[in-house]
């Protein structure tokens, strides 16, 4: 048996060649269509990502600006507080000096007789002692009363100065906290 058909051995090869000739362009066109389709989706996703990044950057910039503004307010409030405390300390020291000066002035005025104690504050000596010591005891008692009265006045003035100092310090702290924006000031 001799095969007389010369194309028969090539028939399978021609069939597979035609299949490949049709399949390869379909695959290439499919990849191209898929690539362009996914490229469009990728570009849309990349644009959305870029937009999100820009929105995040704007938010972060806004937060940075707000933080800088709060820091500036806090720094200004801190400087104001430091100045206020220094002025408050100066007023306190002056009030203490005034209290000491008032103590000395009152004691001197009581000794001179320019100022007299009210009867409830003046305790007289119960009587004369033995011998010639009575005038000295009375004088010593009067000097003690004068100094005691002056110390009481000075202590009252010093206490008032401390109370004013504490109040002014608290008020300065409160005003600084409000000025820094850390608290809400209520209606007065």
47-100 pLDDT, tens per residue? Answer: 999 999 999 999 999 999 998 988 888 888 889 889 999 999 999 999 999 999
Confidence tier at 18 by pLDDT (50, 70, 90):
confident
Q: How many CA atoms lie within 13 A of 8 on its CB side?
A: 5
Q: Between the CA of residue 101 and those of 47, 59, 94, what are the distances in Å?
A: 80, 62, 10
22-55 pLDDT, tens per residue? Answer: 898 888 888 887 777 777 788 889 899 999 999 9
**Which has the closest alpha carbon to 106: 118, 116, 96, 94?**
116
What 3-state class would DSSP assign to 157?
A: helix
pLDDT value of position 142? 62
Which two structure tokens, joined as six digits, stand for 81? 């507080």
pLDDT reading at 129 higher than 60: no
Distance CA 92, CA 41 (A): 74
What mean pLDDT comes out for the span 98-113? 86
Highest mean pLDDT among 21-25, 59-63, 120-124, 142-146: 59-63
pLDDT reading at 138 higher than 60: no
């Amino acid at each position: 048996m001799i095969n007389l058909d010369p194309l028969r051995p090539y028939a399978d090869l021609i069939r597979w060649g035609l299949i490949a000739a049709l399949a390869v362009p379909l695959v290439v066109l499919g990849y191209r269509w898929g690539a362009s389709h996914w490229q469009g989706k990728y570009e849309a996703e990349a644009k959305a990502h870029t937009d999100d990044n820009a929105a995040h950057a704007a938010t972060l910039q806004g937060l940075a600006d707000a933080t800088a503004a709060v820091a500036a307010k806090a720094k200004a409030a801190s400087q104001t507080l430091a100045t206020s405390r220094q002025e408050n300390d100066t007023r306190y020291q002056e009030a203490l000096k005034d209290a000491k000066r008032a103590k000395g002035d009152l004691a001197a005025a009581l000794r001179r007789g320019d100022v007299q104690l009210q009867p409830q504050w003046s305790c007289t000596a119960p009587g004369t002692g033995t011998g010639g010591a009575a005038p000295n005891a009375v004088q010593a008692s009067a000097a003690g009363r004068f100094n005691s009265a002056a110390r009481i006045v000075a202590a009252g003035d010093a206490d008032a100065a401390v109370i004013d100092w504490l109040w002014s310090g608290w008020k300065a702290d409160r005003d600084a906290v409000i000025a820094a924006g850390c608290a809400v000031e209520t209606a007065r």
